[in-house]
Structure 1
Amino acid sequence: LSSCHMLWFLDFACRAGWRVDSYTDAAVGTMAKDAQGRLVVAHVQLRPVTRFDAAHAPSTEVLADLHHQAHAACFLANSVKTQIDCAPVLEVEGEGA
């Protein structure tokens, strides 16, 4: 899920003219039993950290929109029943990041 989301995010960012300097994610998955008592991955939280230079950084609103687009396009996210949340972090080089 994390890699699929990242690839779509980078694609949409590139199409919009943004230059991403680095992208990391420390996704976390939570296991739980479903209604039938089977163990499943019930929740995944993506925690992408995206770094841009100060002269070319999007707003946090634009960053959030890029992540929404990536989530909507991610074929893996569209194929699973798991709840997926995204908690993006914007880092800007040269602004104390």
Structure 2
Amino acid sequence: MSRQHTYTLAVTWTGNTGAGTANYRAYERSHEVAAEGLPTIVGSSDPLFRGDPSRWNPEQLLLAALSQCHLLSYLHLCAVNKVVVTAYVDEPVGTMVEGAGDGRFTEAELRPRVVVTEPGMVEKAIALHADANRACFIANSVNFPVHHRPEVTVATAD
């Protein structure tokens, strides 16, 4: 059974310094991403493209969406497969190549560090990353490979 989901938000440019887009240097890349009932995300372009380094850029948000989706898919699969995860941190890296007037991500690598409660869970915990990738809606929507380099350790008693 197929289900359709629709997501809505508003992206508002806030970078008009008075001259609009009269020239490439006349405007800021500042904008806001808002959705009903959620905190506003302040965004800009990458600083390499005249963006504000104190704001999120679209490339970071794409990488964050991949990492978040993988995390949520993975935790679900661990729960239903009786793999008890007590900690999860990912520090993903995305690679974008800029061409003549265009650019695209060529790959992303997720690097989750996972802690499980028992040594017998480690092998399954590693294997579930492949299943999580197949289940991740965002990974299924991008046109570049998403690689995984997970590390799984066992929690130590304090």
TM value normalised by structure 1: 0.84
Q: Within 1, Cα distance between the matches of 2:121 and 2:134?
A: 20
Match of 1:70 among 116, 123, 132: 132
Partner SS, residue 90 of structure 1: strand
Give the corresponding residue for 2:27.
none
| RCO comparison, higher one (Cα < 8 Å, 6+) | 1
Match of 1:7 among 72, 76, 90: 72
Q: Contact 2:96–2:105 (CA<8 Å) still a contact in 1?
A: yes
Give me the identity figure in percent. 32
Computing the radius of gyration over CA atoms, which structure comes out larger, 1 or 2?
A: 2
Q: Within 2, Cα distance between the matches of 1:30 and 1:18?
A: 31
Residue deviations 1:70-94, cap 9 Å, x none?
0001011111102110000011122
Give runs of ≥4 in structure 1 deviating > 3 Å: none
What RMSD in Å do the two structures reach over aligned CA positions?
A: 2.0
Unaligned runs of 5+ in 1: none
Tell me how many residue pairs correspond in the alignment: 92
Q: Within 2, Cα distance between the matches of 1:21 and 1:81?
A: 32
- Go from structure 1 to structure 2 and tell me whether the alpha carbon gap of 1:58 and 1:84 turns closer, same or farther (over 3 Å shift): same
Query: Which has the larger share of helix?
Result: 1
Match of 2:122 among 59, 62, 70: 59
Partner SS, residue 153 of structure 2: strand
Q: Contact 1:22–1:51 (CA<8 Å) still a contact in 2?
A: yes
Q: Within 2, Cα distance between the matches of 1:86 and 1:80?
A: 15
Unaligned runs of 5+ in 2: 1-65
Residue deviations 1:10-60, cap 9 Å, x none?
0000001121110010000011147x862111110000010012x365133
